[in-house]
Amino acid sequence: ELKVEQNPLFLSMQEGKNYTIYCNYSTTSDRLYWYRQDPGKSLESLFVLLSNGAVKQEGRLMASLDTKARLSTLHITAAVHDLSATYFCAVDTGNQFYFGTGTSLTVIP
Amino acid sequence: NAGVTQTPKFQVLKTGQSMTLQCAQDMNHEYMSWYRQDPGMGLRLIHYSVGAGITDQGEVPNGYNVSRSTTEDFPLRLLSAAPSQTSVYFCASSPRAWVVGNEKLFFGSGTQLSVL
């Protein structure tokens, strides 16, 4: 059974601080996704990481992928309140997508 | 651009009732799928379709039926609702049957379903 695990599940951080969310998965996959979900809303794509060593950055968020370790990280730099949301990672097997449990991030002023 | 449209946004059912959650996309996507989102469990795949006339089961298919008669529509049917089916349901689509390159899932706005 394919598993996608995220940690932490809940994260409360002060504005201006840095932190990393981790995503481990149990199958070989060259592709990993990060999504953001605001409360009561749908999922919005943040990043698609396509290969080992891939790194993508958008604003204060940077995602990386290590396919050998089956690990992806989402690094938050100098957090601001607008980043408060739930973040999901996901992998695919071609035609099935498997999501992590999500990390609920709260940025405190 | 409408993208992926789900209806209704909210629904309350009594145990044993049936209903259909509607999903339509206007992007000519081959792949469509249904997920349920429960607290602490992320999103779990219910059913998916790689094209009109083709459907398959995901992780949690029991209690749900789907059909794909057109490329645009992928309805999810609950035949006899149970309280365990209380959840938020998302429909999602992707351009091709098998993901290629940086293709990704596009999500609808969700349906919040309560079964009493």
Q: What is the pLDDT of residue B116?
A: 96
Q: How far off is chain A from B113, nearest CA to CA, in Å?
A: 13
The whole-number pLDDT of residue B10 equals 96
Rounded CA separation B95/B30 (Å): 6
Say what the pLDDT of residue A1 is. 76
Residue B1: its pLDDT value, please?
Answer: 65
pLDDT along chain A (109 residues), means of 10: 92 95 90 94 93 91 94 96 96 89 94
Question: What Rg do the C-alpha atoms of chain B give, in angstroms?
Answer: 13
Chain A CB contacts of B61 below 8 Å: none
Reading the block at residue B58, the tokens are: 């995901």
Looking at the partner chain, which of B33, B90, B99 has a beta carbon nearest the beta carbon of A94?
B99
- Residue B102: its pLDDT value, please? 76
Positions of chain B with pLDDT under 50: none
Strands B4-7 and A10-14: unpaired
- From the list B42, B99, B102, the residue facing A99 with the nearest CB is B42
Quick: pLDDT tens for B83-98.
999 999 999 999 987 7
